Chains A and B, each alone.
Chain A
Amino acid sequence: NAGVTQTPKFQVLKTGQSMTLQCAQDMNHEYMSWYRQDPGMGLRLIHYSVGAGITDQGEVPNGYNVSRSTTEDFPLRLLSAAPSQTSVYFCASSYLPGLAHEQYFGPGTRLTVT
Chain B
Amino acid sequence: GDSVTQMEGPVTLSEEAFLTINCTYTATGYPSLFWYVQYPGEGLQLLLKATKADDKGSNKGFEATYRKETTSFHLEKGSVQVSDSAVYFCAPNNNNDMRFGAGTRLTVKP
Contacts and interface: CB of A to CB of B under 8 A. Distances in A.
A23 to B, nearest CB: 11
Categorize the interface residue count of chain B. Answer: 20 to 34
Interface stretch (B14-22, B38-46, B65-73): B38-46
Nearest to A97: B96
A90 B51 contact: no
B44 A105 contact: yes
A25 interface: no
Contacts of A56: 96
Given A99-B31, A100-B51, A45 B44 contact: no
Given A90-B43, A105-B44, A99 B97 contact: no
Contacts, number: 60
B62 interface: no
B89 A43 contact: yes
Contacts of A106: 43
Given A90-B44, A105-B43, A105-B44, A42 B96 contact: no
Interface of B: 6, 31-32, 34, 41-46, 49, 51, 89, 93-103
The 6 closest A-B pairs by CB, nearest first: A105-B43, A102-B46, A43-B100, A42-B102, A99-B32, A42-B100
